[in-house]
Structure 1
């Protein structure tokens, strides 16, 4: 396992600062979960936007994330270093698209996104193994976020939640 950069190194590198989720990816245990937790306050801010603006910002964050995560992986010398959590930020934001700002929606989105991200059912597992670079780091979390959003949609459609 690669060594984490120090927080001082993150502060000197905007790429590492973003890739490591403003320091949340430095957690020695469950950095992906910590990164997802760190994404919640930013989601709350994003959720204030109209849905179209929200989706544009999240799309930009995903595209920029390809470069951020790719450069950070190159700097760390490890593909998809565990501390790179910008992909978790974006995946969570995708899962939370169009949800009401309630603690119940945060818990549901968080749990479902983490389940899909950790268990990596097909095609997430295939993408995680077969796609490399910054795009590879991002795509499995984007798909995990979409999968969580689909489950949330159907739970809501059938009146089981929210």
Structure 2
């Protein structure tokens, strides 16, 4: 199996773990989004997709409780993504998708209720996460460790949330 690393510095990268290995490691299991990051193609998209049903439950929280969940999952994510990255010997291995979970949840913070909004938020988040407009691309290249893995998705989530909220505002005021 392949990894995302092409450099020769640091520890020798390990291949993508199997589901059995994920189940033996709580850090890898969570960092790989309960296994969604094992998708052979587009693991970030599958990770974001796995975040949608979890968001369904989050949407019923008060804004303060939802914000608390975002902060906690961000902090936990910095640890999980950093630890998984070290364990695999690859910075931001493609299968690490906890950052996509939190980025999508941030996109959907205070979003209108409904499956069309959930889909719209999904598409917006994936566009910003893949395109990495400034400063997302800068953060992705320059900030390392668990914080670096999380930060580009947080920024993509903020961009996507701004577009989603702007769209909702326009729809409801026109």
Alignment of 1:12-23 (within 5 A): 12-23=24-35
Match of 1:134 in 2: 146
Q: Distance in 1 between matches of 2:154 and 2:81?
A: 13
Secondary structure in 2 matching 1:68: helix
Structure 1: gaps spanning 5 or more residues: none
Q: Distance in 1 between matches of 2:170 and 2:113?
A: 20
Bigger CA radius of gyration = 2
Q: Does 1:98 align with 2:98?
A: no
Q: Distance in 1 between matches of 2:170 and 2:139?
A: 30
Residue in structure 1 matching 2:69, options 36, 57, 65: 57
| Contact residue 44 and residue 101 of structure 1 kept, 8 A | no
4+ residue stretches of structure 1 with deviation over 4 A? none
Q: Distance in 1 between matches of 2:168 and 2:89?
A: 43
Report the TM-score when normalising by structure 1: 0.96
The Cα RMSD (Å) is 1.2
Change (3 A) 1:55 1:135: same
- Count, aligned residues: 161
Report the TM-score when normalising by structure 2: 0.90
